[in-house]
Amino acid sequence: MIDTLVLRAGTAGDAAAIARVIAASFEQYRGRLVPESGAFRETAENIAAELERGAGALVAERNGELLGCVLVEEKEGDLYFGRLSVVPTARGRGLAKRLIDAVEAEARRRGLAGVRLGVRIVLTDNQRLFLALGYRETSREAHPGFEHPTSINMRKPLG
C-alpha cells in the first residue's frame, strides 16, 4: 500500500470526520481561551450545513484517514480560513503549512485578492506561524461581552 498524503476539497460526506479532527485539534486550547473557542461547538450537522450552503473545506488525508482540515469562505473579496486543524499525531510535519498553501492556491484559482484569518491574541505560536507565511495584522477585535481585544485579524495579499 502506498502511504500518500492527499489534499482535496471536503464534502458534506466528510462532515463527521472534519468535526472529529477539529475537536481533537482544538482540545489543547480548552481552558486557555476566554471566551472558549467556538470550535468546541462544531458538529457534523452544522459543518455539513455550511458546506451545503456554499462554504468550503480542504482536507488532508492519508490512507483514508483525515489528519487535518481547514474551513474556507469568501469574504470581502478574499478567501477567509478558519478552524485550521491538524490532529496531534500528525503535527510537526508541515501539514498546517500545506493546508494554508492549499487555501492560498484556492484563492488564486478563484481570482481573489487575498487570504484572511482570525487568531486569538493569546495564541502567540499561531501568530508567529502566520507572520512567517506573510500574513500581517489588519485589526483587532473583541468577542461579544469583552471590552478588550481578544483576537487579531490577519491578511495576506496575493500577487
Q: What is the CATH number of the domain that holds 107?
A: 3.40.630.30
Flag whether 20 is in a domain: yes
**Domains in the chain, number:** 1
- Grid cell for residue 91: 503535527
Flag whether 147 is in a domain: no
- Provide block-wise average pLDDT over 10 residues at a time, the chain (159 residues): 83 96 95 90 95 94 95 96 96 94 97 97 94 97 94 95
Cβ burial, residue 98 (10 Å; 0-12/13-18/19+): middle
Where are any strands of DSSP class E within the chain?
5-9, 56-62, 65-75, 78-86, 114-120, 136-141, 151-157
The pLDDT of residue 127 is: 96
Beta bridge partners of 26: none
Flag whether 150 is in a domain: no
Flag whether 148 is in a domain: no
- Within 3-59, where are the H helices? 15-26, 44-52
Please give the residue range of the domain that contains residue 50. 5-112
Closest CA to 14 of 68, 86, 92: 68
Flag whether 159 is in a domain: no
